[in-house]
């Protein structure tokens, strides 16, 4: 018997979608959210936002394939 490998392809999340995910994530606790930039680094997006008043710069890491939040600062 042979081992078969089935490939379903890799779908990655686009820049607009990760920006929306970051807004939704920080919007749970903060107000006045402004997405500053989203940068793709391998299989991870790093999205920089400003939140609150006075503005505080925050970053969130999002998996580029699943859209899962990997961490934030």
Residue-range domain boundaries for the chain:
15-72
pLDDT digits (tens, 9 = 90+) for 24-73: 999 998 888 999 999 999 899 999 999 988 989 999 999 999 999 999 99
d(CA 50, CA 35): 6
Query: Quick one: pLDDT at residue 11?
Result: 57
Question: Integer distance in angstroms from the first to the last C-alpha of the chain?
Answer: 49
* pLDDT confidence tier of residue 5, bands split at 50, 70 and 90: very low
Within 13 Å of residue 46, how many CA atoms lie on the same side as its CB? Answer: 7
Per-residue pLDDT, 12 = 81
User: Widest CA span of the chain, in angstroms?
Assistant: 64
Q: What is the CATH number of domain 15-72?
A: 3.10.450.630
């Amino acid at each position: 018997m042979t081992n078969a490998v089935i490939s379903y392809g890799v779908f990655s999340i686009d820049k607009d979608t990760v920006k929306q995910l970051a807004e939704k994530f920080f919007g749970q606790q903060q107000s006045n959210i402004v997405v500053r930039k989203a940068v793709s680094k391998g299989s991870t997006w790093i999205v920089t936002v400003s939140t609150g008043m006075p503005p505080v710069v925050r970053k969130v890491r999002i998996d580029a394939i699943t859209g899962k939040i990997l961490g934030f600062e």
